[in-house]
Every structure is written in structure tokens, then in C-alpha cells.
């Protein structure tokens, strides 16, 4: 079975580690993956990692282009690739990539029905509103007969209401390499950070996210000002980079939190477990998320998580695997954090349930097996 994967739902970013995990896992199940990406690497070493498993990566330069021009250019390039290969199934991530793939298939095989499995990612308001975007995407998926995989229960409900056929809509979460994470966690004591001295004797609350609109850093800082008044040993670590980082540093100064907030920059992927090993509580103040690795990885590190009611949080909350609070409420966020700081035993219990849920449902091998079942249904 030959399956073509489009490696990124964001044109122009190149291939990244999370996108590379699925093809590697599918190869172990007997699938022959062909990975298509815009040139470049979002994470260093991804291509060498794929080549080490004997996988093939094809660069399609036009995947880095946006707009109608980029859409047609990439459809032509992908169509040429399809004509030169025997591809059984195409698996794009995101509505935009699914549209490119469908156009490419129609150019290559105008008389054959395409076989698509689409993992539906976060909705960008390309048509003005999230709702209209979902309705149009749903009508498109129904028209082309694509299997649609929503990555959390909340997304499943939204897409079902938007009109996707129930018999073609599935909940298949994104994935994490639990074995690799655990190996990195076991090596965390050998990892040192230049800010380690700032962490000693503090209870650390960590948020791993780019400083971008909607990530809720401002709400977290306002919550921090409430928390530190009750827990002076609390230290908030906001790891990441992005256009709003400077603004958040200025807000930190205005709130008088300079001794309670640390901005270490982006932490390399393989060092994230080491940072979480030094963490007391993971936090996600975001206003909009779907799967959210910042929610998942602290649980894998056996750290409790306080999150807003976004995306995959609903699935985990139903399993008792985290504390969920309303988005946009620094007071509720602060209350959740303070609750866990006062009751470490509760935090350990919540983290244990959360980790169990993630391991049972989100491990890359489990997710790959579910995708294989969908491929077999299409064939």
C-alpha cells in the first residue's frame, strides 16, 4: 500500500518532526509512505531521521506558495508526481492541503475517484468566519468522499454540526512518541540549562508556546500576579519565541513580576522533557487550540496541567486527567494553579490519570493502527 503524506498543514514551513512521526510508524505496519514537503526543515535533523528509516521525501517547491497561484502551481506539481507513481491513498493534513491534493488527483486521474484521508487541523478564518470555513470545508469533504479525522472530540462535534457525513467522520487524535519522550525524560538529569539556578527552591509553572495572538500569555501573566501574592515561591516559565514576546516582557514589568517570570526562549524539542522534569505544574492559557502538545507533554512527564476549555482539553477533562477552566479568565486560571500548589497529592492523582489517557489513546503506534484501518476501508 503506497500512501502519500503532505508533511505540513502550513505552506512554506518545510518538514517538521511531528509530521515525520506518522510515516515512520506506518512503515512498521507495512505501509510504503511517500512524504511530500515544501523545501526546508522546521526541525533540525528531520530529513536524516526519515532517511535512516529508508523513507523517501519529495520536495514540492510550490507548497511554499500561498494564494490561488500557489494552489494551482502545487496541484500541477503534485499531479505530475501522482502520474509518475502508483499512489493508493493520499493523506493530507488540513483543508488547504486536501484541496491541493484533490485538484492534483483530478489533473492526474480525471476519471478515477480520489482516495483521501484528511486529518482536519485548526480552522483558520479564510472565509471571514470560523463557521463559514467549516461549512465550506464540510461540503467539500462530502463532495470528494474523503474520510475526515477530527483530532479531538470538540472538533468532531463542530464538524458534524457543520455538515460532514457522520459515516465519514472520525475522532483520531494527533500523536506523541511516548517511548522517545520517556527515553528523553530518563536522560533529563544529564541536561543543564543556563537558567537552572533560577529554578532552585521554586515551584515552577511552565507554558510551552510561541508568543502569538490567541496563545493567552497576557491572561497567564495576570493570573501569575494573583498566584504569587499567595505563593511567593512560584516561578512562571514562559518558554518559546514569537512576535509578542517583547510585549509580554513589558507586561511582566508593569505587573511587578520580574522576579517571578522567566523567558528562556525556545527550548529544543529533545530538551523539553528535561524542562518538564523541573516543572511543578504545566499550564495552557490559550484561547484557541486543537490537540496542543503543551497540554500533552507535561502529563507524560507526570506533571498536572491547568488548561482553558479548548480542543483536546475536553477529552482529558472527561477522563479526569487535568483541571479545565474557562478561557479568558485569569482569576479562574489562577485558582486552578493555586489549588494544585496547595494540594500536591491531588496533582499527582490528576497527572497519573492524564498520562494513562495519553498513553492509551495518543501513542503514535496506536494512532497509526487506526489510520491503517481507515486506509483498508478505502481500498
Q: Are strands 169-171 and 147-150 parallel, antiparallel or unpaired?
A: parallel
Q: Could you give the CA distance from residue 84 to residue 191 in angstroms, rounded to a whole number?
A: 46
Q: Could you give the CA distance from residue 92 to residue 85 in angstroms, rounded to a whole number?
A: 17
Instruction: Check: CB of residue 43 under 8 Å from CB of residue 17.
Output: yes
Which structural domains are found in the chain, ordered by start? 2-175+363-378 (3.40.50.2000), 179-361 (3.40.50.2000)
The grid cell for 167 is 459515516
Q: Count CA atoms closer than 13 A to 159's CA, side-chain side.
A: 33
The grid cell for 368 is 497509526
Angle at 297 between CA 230 and CA 120, to 5 degrees: 120
* Blockwise average pLDDT, block size 10, the chain, 379 residues: 78 74 93 89 82 87 81 91 91 90 92 90 66 91 95 93 96 93 91 94 96 95 97 97 96 96 93 96 93 93 96 94 96 98 97 97 96 93
Strands (E), 110-244: 117-120, 147-150, 169-171, 203-208, 234-239
The grid cell for 79 is 499531479
Q: What is the pLDDT of residue 303?
A: 97
> At a CB cut-off of 8 Å and minimum separation 6, what does 185 contact?
273, 274, 276, 277, 300, 301
Q: What is the pLDDT of residue 364?
A: 95
Going by C-alpha positions, the residue among 212, 215, 203 that lies closest to residue 294 is 215
How many Å from the N-terminal Cα to the C-terminal Cα in the chain?
9
Total-model pTM = 0.91
Q: Could you give the CA distance from residue 191 to residue 299 in angstroms, rounded to a whole number?
A: 20
DSSP reduced 3-state for 98: helix
Q: What is the pLDDT of residue 45?
A: 82
Chain position carrying cell 493567552: 216
Q: What is the pLDDT of residue 99?
A: 92
Amino acid at each position: 500500500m503506497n500512501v502519500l503524506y503532505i508533511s505540513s498543514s502550513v505552506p512554506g514551513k518545510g518538514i517538521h518532526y511531528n509530521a515525520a512521526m506518522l510515516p515512520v510508524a506506518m512503515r512498521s505496519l507495512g505501509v510504503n509512505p511517500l512524504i511530500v514537503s515544501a523545501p526546508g526543515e522546521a526541525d533540525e535533523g528531520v530529513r536524516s531521521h526519515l532517511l535512516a528509516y529508508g523513507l523517501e521525501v519529495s520536495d514540492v517547491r510550490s507548497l511554499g506558495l500561498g494564494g490561488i497561484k500557489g494552489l494551482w502551481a502545487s496541484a500541477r506539481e503534485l499531479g505530475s508526481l501522482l502520474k509518475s507513481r502508483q499512489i493508493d491513498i493520499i493523506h493530507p493534513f488540513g483543508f488547504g492541503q486536501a484541496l491541493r491534493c484533490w485538484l492534483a488527483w483530478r489533473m492526474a486521474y480525471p476519471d478515477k475517484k480520489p482516495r483521501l484521508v484528511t486529518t482536519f487541523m485548526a480552522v483558520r478564518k479564510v472565509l471571514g468566519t470560523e463557521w463559514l470555513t467549516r461549512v465550506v470545508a464540510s461540503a467539500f469533504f462530502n463532495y470528494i468522499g474523503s474520510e475526515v479525522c477530527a483530532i479531538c472530540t470538540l472538533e468532531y462535534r463542530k464538524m458534524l454540526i457543520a455538515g460532514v457525513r457522520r459515516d465519514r467522520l472520525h475522532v483520531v487524535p494527533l500523536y506523541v512518541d511516548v517511548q522517545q519522550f520517556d527515553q528523553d525524560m530518563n536522560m533529563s538529569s544529564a541536561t543543564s540549562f543556563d537558567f537552572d539556578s533560577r529554578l532552585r527552591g521554586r515551584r515552577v509553572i511552565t507554558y510551552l508556546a510561541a508568543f502569538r495572538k490567541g496563545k493567552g500569555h497576557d491572561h497567564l501573566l495576570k493570573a501569575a500576579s494573583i498566584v504569587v501574592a499567595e505563593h511567593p515561591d512560584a516561578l512562571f516559565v514562559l518558554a518559546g519565541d514569537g512576535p509578542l514576546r517583547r510585549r509580554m516582557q513589558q507586561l511582566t514589568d508593569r505587573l511587578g513580576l520580574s522576579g517571578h517570570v522567566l523567558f528562556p526562549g525556545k527550548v529544543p524539542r529533545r530538551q523539553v522533557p528535561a524542562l518538564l522534569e523541573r516543572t511543578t505544574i504545566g499550564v495552557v492559557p490559550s484561547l484557541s487550540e486543537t490537540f496542543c502538545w503543551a497540554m500533552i507533554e507535561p502529563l507524560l512527564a507526570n506533571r498536572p496541567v491547568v488548561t482553558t476549555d479548548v480542543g483536546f482539553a475536553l477529552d482529558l477533562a472527561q477522563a479526569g486527567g487535568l483541571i479545565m477552566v474557562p478561557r479568558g479568565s485569569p482569576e479562574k486560571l489562577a485558582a486552578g494553579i493555586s489549588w494544585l500548589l496547595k494540594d500536591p497529592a491531588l496533582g499527582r492523582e490528576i497527572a497519573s490519570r492524564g498520562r494513562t489517557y495519553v498513553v492509551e489513546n495518543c501513542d503514535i503506534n496506536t494512532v497509526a493502527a487506526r489510520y491503517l484501518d481507515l486506509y483498508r476501508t478505502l481500498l
